[in-house]
Structure 1
Amino acid sequence: MATTPKHDERIATMTFASVYPHYLTKVEKKGRTREELLQVIEWLTGFDEHKLQELIEQNVTFQEFFQQAKLNPNAQLITGVICGYRVEEIENPLTQQVRYLDKLVDELAKGRKMEKIVRA
């Protein structure tokens, strides 16, 4: 399923700060920790806890968030379906990066082992 330009634009302008609490709630409901969530985000983006907090306070959009990120070279190993889209087939690079993050959070919430999540 291909994304539409409207969908891609909506994702680009969404703020990371508006989505992060949902990520945290999702993983904590399933017995995972904030520290594990931070580990997953740092693996994908290179952002440590301090930088992540700074980006949340600046209310950056996902576009700004991923422009500043140093995407992990193994990110392309993230595959599967999230939100009805097969992540490896998403053509818009930013939308794909956001869905990579969504997929990692989903895997964490589903109890997958950290070594598998970070493609070690």
Structure 2
Amino acid sequence: MKDQDQRIANMSFASVYPHYVTKVEKKGRTKEELHQVITWLTGYSSPDLERLIQEKVTFERFFGEANLNPNASLITGVICGYRIEDIQNQLTQQVRYLDKLVDELAKGRKMEKILRS
């Protein structure tokens, strides 16, 4: 596993989550919409998310226990300079899926487009 992949795997979801909230709220979206997006991708409910944040789980555990949406592979494009569909490490790709969805939410994309419906 490359250093970056290992760093992402060991990062806690709780450390990144407040940045997601700030990013979407700065653009006029809500925490509820953020949760809707995270739930769509992972299958976690809002209480699940709160518990995972309290437990300070790593991204490795966060996605390891998630029930990933079968349409997640429809999330494509470039995030952090990487083409999502070309990322080899599965966990890193899943974290980038989440980053991309948060970006789309912050950019004002319609929810049905974000949720690939």
Q: Does 1:88 align with 2:85?
A: yes
Q: Does 1:116 align with 2:107?
A: no
Q: 1:42 aligns with which of 39, 43, 50?
A: 39
- Cα distance in 1 for partners of 2:52, 2:110 equals 27
Q: 1:67: which partner in 2?
A: 64
SS of the equivalent of 2:94 reads: helix
Q: Does 1:18 align with 2:29?
A: no
Deviations 1:64-89 (A, max 9, x none): 00001000000000000000110010
Structure 1, unpaired ranges of 5+ = none
TM-score norm. by structure 2 comes to: 0.99
SS of the equivalent of 2:61 reads: helix
- Cα distance in 2 for partners of 1:58, 1:35 equals 21
- Cα distance in 2 for partners of 1:88, 1:32 equals 26
Q: CA deviation at 1:56?
A: 0.3
How many residue pairs align between the two structures?
117
Q: 1:76: which partner in 2?
A: 73
**Dislocated runs of 4+, deviation >4 Å:** none
1:117 partner letter: I
Over aligned residues, Cα RMSD in angstroms? 0.7
Q: CA deviation at 1:48?
A: 0.5
Structure 2, unpaired ranges of 5+ = none
SS of the equivalent of 1:115 reads: helix
TM-score norm. by structure 1 comes to: 0.96
